[in-house]
Structure 1
Amino acid sequence: MRTIHAATLLRSTPEGEPVAGRAVLVTGNRIEAVAPLDELTEAYPQVRVRRWAGTLGPALVHDGPLPPAPSPRERVHALFRLGVAAVLAAHVTEPELRAAAVRNDVAVLDRVRPPALVPTGRADLAVFADDGRCLATVVAGRLVHRRA
């Protein structure tokens, strides 16, 4: 299933300059295209468009212990509220925690890799408000967090 994610601004990398009018086309768990929104909606008129207020960019890589919570599942979901889609293997050594991460499609990495929105890349996206709060997180193409 295809989805177009569009926001007020888009950053291809966390440090990249935000650009207006661009969007990300996601097919399954992969990014199919990063292009102007009007080009994508014209080329794919039947595709659902999710519009977000804020800045859309790559989801983050969490480099530290996971937030405390009563269960491994809740610790993983706490990451989603931060805009995170990947963690370092060194911080998910407990079997239950690693299983919860894998079950929720969180990428478990051996080392930090700079996140970026690139065609054929994994569809890990996050939308942030001007004050830095995470408004939405998409992990492997699946919306896993949306601030009410």
Structure 2
Amino acid sequence: MLTLHRAAFVLPDPADPAAPSLPDGAVLVRGEQVEAVGPYPELAAAHPGARVRDWGPGSLLAPGLRHPSGHRLLERDYHPDPREGVGVEPVADGLVGCADEARFGASARRGLQRMLGYGVTAVAGPFERAAVRTAVARSGLAVLPSAAGAVGALDPLAVLPFAEAVHGRVAAGGRADFAVFPVVPVFPVVPVVPVVPVVPVQGVVDGSGEGRPGPAAGGCLATVLGGRLVYRRR
């Protein structure tokens, strides 16, 4: 089945400062792969039978994020069950000294689900616990080499600029791993002659290209792994 993911902006390669964003863009997905990236009107006209997922006027579709602290977050920190009544934030070193594989596995599954809510599509390993390796493999996230000096925040954008946090690029023929974020648009500054001096205010950009939109803080709207919608904000 063909699925057309439409967003207000598509940014196929945020790591490339010269790569432009596509206003009213779309990504066409067939199975696990990206079939095409381009303007939504063109792709919709060429594939009238495709299912359309329209992520709305305030959306930015981009590659998913890499999490540099995967090993620590999944094998040292504990991710509570909401029923425990202690919140949902990771408990630092909450698994240190634990020998219960079932507890490791359950914590890892909850942690991975919460990472998906931030647009994570790849995590840094290695993972020593069998239960954690199984949870990561079943999640569909890519596993990357260890990252030195990583900080244990669930949101990679809390510790890395957007251009450095993305994993790979969204391109035809590649695996359909990407995320959709709320967008912080860039507003053009209109020259005016003020009565009193004022400081012009612009929108926030992603820091890697002038005039490009960037993701708003606080998590993503959706995460897609291998063409599957694995997270959608409620």
TM-score, normalisation: structure 1? 0.89
Q: Which residue of 2 aligns with 1:46?
A: 49
SS class of match (2:171) = coil
CA offsets 1:81-118 (integer angstroms, 9 cap, x no match): 0101111223x332211211111211112368842001
Q: Name the counterpart of 2:227.
A: 141
Q: 2:66 is aligned with what amino acid?
A: V
Q: Equivalences for 1:27-42 in 2 at 5 Å?
A: 27-42=30-45
Once the two structures are superposed, residues 10-41 of structure 1 have per-residue CA deviations (whole angstroms, 9 ceiling, x without a partner) of 10123454320221011111111111111111
Aligned match for 2:68, one of 40, 60, 63: 63
Corresponding residue SS for 2:131:
helix
Which residue of structure 2 aligns with residue 14 of structure 1?
14
- Calculate percent identity across the aligned residue pairs: 39
Contact 1:66-1:76 within 8 A present in 2 as well: no
Residue 126 of structure 1 corresponds to 179
Contact 1:14 1:115 in 2 (8 A): no
Give distance in 1, aligned partners of 2:222 and 2:167.
20
Structure 2 stretches lacking a partner, 5+ long: 81-105, 148-165, 184-215
Q: Give, in whole Å, the separation in 1 of the partners of 2:115 and 2:134.
A: 15
Indicate the residue corresponding to 2:153 in structure 1.
Answer: none
In terms of fraction of residues, the more strand-rich structure is: 1
Please list every run of at least 4 consecutive aligned residues from structure 1 whose deviation after the TM superposition is greater than 6 angstroms. none
State the aligned residue count.
147
Give the structure with higher Rg (CA).
Answer: 2
Distance 2:64 2:179 in 1: 5
Give the letter aligned to residue 128 of structure 1.
Answer: F
